[in-house]
Chain A
């Protein structure tokens, strides 16, 4: 069987991946058990208080993942916060080209660093929503009985809007992951060099071109990491 050499670039370290999936898992449990309270077809989950228990267990995990991130990989957390709130002229250029990016094109965009402008905004909004949804959630959890109607209304409003923001961000997050084959970044930790070149050229240029940052893998038709579509074409 023909083999070819594929270069993969380390994008997320193990600690980052663990934190990502823990946070994602907790988020989806929170989303579904929360939707049970506002979307009648899911309300059977709320009957008897099952969704409330799940929501609170997941909430604790969700709240603590940034702490876990700091413990496992402080550099990753620091970079995330710094990059999410640092914007340059290139970012503005990138954002002007966003409609094309949304529909699958990258060639018209200026070269990007480790994260592009869209990801920066995504991360920034996620961080802000993390605080608003956690704050309002804790108020609803711990303040029940002493909120009064107005307090309840305000906390629930903040919680609902934060939920909507996060859920829509997540739709976009999943969308771009699958449009641009970015899933391996969070499973194996590596992205194909092709992906890195198309999406994050400046970042690719800035990292050492040696293991473990860049690895070469002899790949057959099938591989665990998922062979890029280009490989299939070449074999034919």
Chain B
């Protein structure tokens, strides 16, 4: 399947929380678990206040730090989304530590985050949050379609919101959630340039090196054992003959 993406248009979000509930009910989440949160952000100086509803949910980074650190492969990428194989999660919580958006949680010793509705999309249906949104703030489609739609919406918003912009086109290798922002990301509490923590040297370097060194030492010892054993027995015999 092509690389998919979601559109979240903050200029249309009413903060009604319908997506939160639809997701929770549709995905049959456990008590205490929610994959979508809506946070109200207010800025400006009274009485000149402005506000927006900012989603706090997995943005499905293309270069996902959580996938890089997951030791068991429970987190993985498919079709532009970051999926979760919950049966493989060990609950180590590394993803919680490294996510630049602080999205994953541990619930009952297991990761809890949006695992996408890829199953529904593959059947030609829409994700629970998208189908329930009464404001047309959410969409799901191929990433090209979503980006084009986002650009069109930003262009249409420029009169009302001069600082309107797209978020997610380039961040973290390109997010699987493209957002239409009415204001700069920093204003809305989103990092303009989120960084992958410097994990490459650990996962990509130290761990394979450790395993390699261990395997090499075992192999060397295994081969040397036969030589050493023979020579040791020989020396033992010699020392006995010598002693007698």
Contacts and interface: CB of A to CB of B under 8 A. Distances in A.
Interface stretch (B142-150, B161-169, B214-222): B214-222
B202 interface: yes
Query: Interface residue tally of chain A, by bracket?
Result: 35 or more
B86 to A, nearest CB: 9
Contact of B94 (A104, A150, A152): A152
B90 interface: yes
Interface residues of B, number: 48
A75 B217 CA distance: 33
A178 B225 contact: yes
Contact of A38 (B91, B211, B232, B237): B211
Among B94, B96, B97, B218, the one with the most A-chain Cβ atoms within 10 Å of its Cβ is B97
Contacts of B179: none
Nearest to B244: A234
Interface in B184-201: 197-199
Nearest to A169: B217
B213 A104 contact: no
A107 B235 contact: yes
Nearest to B109: A49
Given A104-B229, A160-B206, A179-B225, A39 B91 contact: no
Nearest to B88: A47
Given A46-B71, A47-B88, A107-B235, A153 B202 contact: yes
Contacts of B45: none
A104 to B, nearest CB: 3
Nearest to A153: B202
A235 interface: no
B210 interface: yes
Nearest to B236: A230
Interface in A43-76: 43-44, 46-49, 51-52
Interface in A33-47: 35-40, 43-44, 46-47
Given A150-B197, A230-B237, A171 B224 contact: no
Interface stretch (A22-30, A122-130, A140-148, A213-221): A140-148
B225 A149 contact: no
A103 interface: yes
Contacts of A48: 87, 89-90
A230 B240 contact: yes
Contacts of A174: 221
A175 B225 contact: yes
Given A37-B90, A179-B229, A171 B73 contact: no
A166 B238 CA distance: 35
A233 B94 CA distance: 59
Contacts of A152: 94, 97-98, 197
Given A105-B235, A179-B225, A233-B237, A49 B90 contact: yes
Nearest to A146: B97
B30 interface: no
Contacts of B135: none
A167 interface: yes
B158 interface: no
A38 B235 contact: no
A132 interface: no
A172 interface: yes
A171 B221 contact: yes
Contact of A103 (B88, B93, B224): B224
Among B94, B209, B236, the one with the most A-chain Cβ atoms within 10 Å of its Cβ is B236
Contact of A145 (B93, B207, B237): B93
A38 B206 CA distance: 10
11 contacts: A48-B89, A103-B227, A106-B232, A107-B239, A149-B65, A163-B210, A168-B213, A168-B214, A178-B225, A179-B228, A230-B240
5 closest A-B pairs by beta carbon, nearest first, are A149-B197, A104-B231, A104-B228, A164-B210, A46-B90
Given A104-B228, A149-B98, 8 more contacts: A49-B90, A49-B110, A150-B198, A152-B197, A164-B213, A171-B221, A194-B239, A233-B237
